[in-house]
Structure 1
Amino acid sequence: MNMKQRGISFIGVLFVVGVLAFAGVIAAQVFPTLIEFQAITKAASKAKEGASVPEVRSIFDKAAQIDDIKSISGKDLEITKEGEKTVVAFAYNKEIHIGGPAYLLLKYTGRSK
């Protein structure tokens, strides 16, 4: 009886575990930026209720202080009118250091609803 072994080798298991660990580390660093993006979107939606540009920026800055938003401030907002509605738009970049000279660049853009 000549039985052939089937399955993955120990080196294969180490490789798969290494790739999953690397992906987990990157995901753990990206997740807080996604939470911050949601907080920024919520603050922009709240800020659009302001009557003037300085008031919109002030409302955003107050919400940013409460939600601990550090990536963007009220002065970085683009505030426009579309008909009778105020629209608050924003864009910013986040860099995540991977190792050595390598960085992961995340570009976030959004606007109030």
Structure 2
Amino acid sequence: MRARKIQRGISLLGLLFWAVIIGGGSVILLRVVPTVMEYYTIQRAIDKIAKDGPSTVAAARDSFERTKQIEYSIVSIEPKDLNITKVDDKVKITFAYDKEVPLFGPAFLLIKYKGESH
């Protein structure tokens, strides 16, 4: 008697399943990455502004507006959306915003971003 050879591999349905999972994950990732990059750009901008220690709230907002004009990727937040306070003689800037990422058809992914100067 000959021993049966055990076949190994992936079935067509298994291959299609993993293709859909990887493809869907890739589409979501490609749509989310630009919003994450924008968040980190905003974070770097407010850290720099807070470190420079603007004398007034208006000066801090003007500085952010100048940064926004240079950094074309900042589109989700305006200077008026920044909360600027002084804590222990240091400028503290906080911000928060929501970003809707269209996925397909009527489906969206809502991401809530929140940050503060360090």
Instruction: Output the TM-score relative to the length of structure 2.
Output: 0.90
State how far apart, in whole Å, the 2-side matches of 1:45 and 1:97 are. Answer: 30
Task: Specify which of 56, 72, 87 is matched with residue 77 of structure 2.
Answer: 72
Task: Specify which of 17, 20, 25 is matched with residue 19 of structure 2.
Answer: 17
Task: Look up the match of 1:41.
Answer: 43
State which structure, 1 or 2, has the greater radius of gyration over its C-alpha atoms: 2
State how far apart, in whole Å, the 1-side matches of 2:106 and 2:75 are. Answer: 24
Instruction: Output the TM-score relative to the length of structure 1.
Output: 0.94
Q: By how many angstroms is 1:2 displaced?
A: 2.4
State how far apart, in whole Å, the 2-side matches of 1:61 and 1:45 are. Answer: 14
Q: 1:51 and 2:55 equivalent?
A: yes
| Equivalence map 1:82-101=2 (5 Å) | 82-101=87-106
Q: Which runs of 4+ in 1 moved over 6 A?
A: none
Aligned-residue CA RMSD (Å): 1.1
The count of aligned residue pairs is 113
Deviations 1:24-59 (A, max 9, x none): 111011111111111100111122221100000000
Q: 1:104 and 2:91 equivalent?
A: no
Over the matched positions of the two proteins, sequence identity in percent amounts to 41
